[in-house]
Amino acid sequence: MSDRFREAMFSYAPTPLKVLARGEGARVWDVDGVEYLDFLAGIAVNALGHAHPVFVDAVSRQAATLAHVSNYFASEPQLELAERLKRLTGGTSVFFCNSGTEAMEAAVKIARRTGRPRILALEKSFHGRTLGALSITGKPALREPFEPLLPGPEFLPTTVDALEAAIGDDVAALVLEPIKGEAGVLDLPEGYLARARELTAQHGALLILDEIQTGAGRTGEWFAFQHEGALPSGTMPDVVALAKGIGGGFPIGALVAFGTAGDILKPGDHGTTFGGNPLATATANAVLGEIERADLVGNARAMGGRIRAGLATLAHPAITDVSGRGLLVGIGLTGPWANAVAARALELGLIVNAAAEDRIRLAPPLTIDDADVDRFLDLFTQALAATESSSS
Catalytic residue of the set 39, 126, 223, 250: 126
Distances (CA, A) of 386 to 185, 221, 319, 358, 392: 21, 34, 13, 13, 10
User: Is there a catalytic annotation at residue 258?
Assistant: no
348 and 329 Cβ atoms separated by less than 8 Å: no
For β-strands 118-122 and 153-156, DSSP reports them as: parallel
- Name the region of 319 (left: φ>0; alpha: ψ -120 to 50; beta: rest): beta
Cα-Cα-Cα-Cα torsion 35, 41, 47, 51, nearest 10 degrees, comes to: -40
Question: How far from chain centre, in Å, is Cα 365?
Answer: 13
Minimal CA–CA distance to 98: which of 278, 274, 282, 285? Answer: 274
- The secondary structure of 228-293 as a DSSP string is TTSS-TT---SEEEE-GGGTTTS--EEEEE-GGGGGSSPTTSS--SSTT-HHHHHHHHHHHHHHHH
Expressed in angstroms, the distance from the first to the final Cα of the chain is 33
Q: 186 in helix, strand or coil?
A: strand
User: Is there a catalytic annotation at residue 250?
Assistant: no
Q: Is the peptide bond before 16 cis (omega within 30 degrees of 0)?
A: no
Catalytic residue of the set 244, 372, 376, 380: 244
User: Is there a catalytic annotation at residue 155?
Assistant: no
Catalytic residue of the set 210, 238, 358, 372: 210
Active site (catalytic) residues:
126, 210, 244
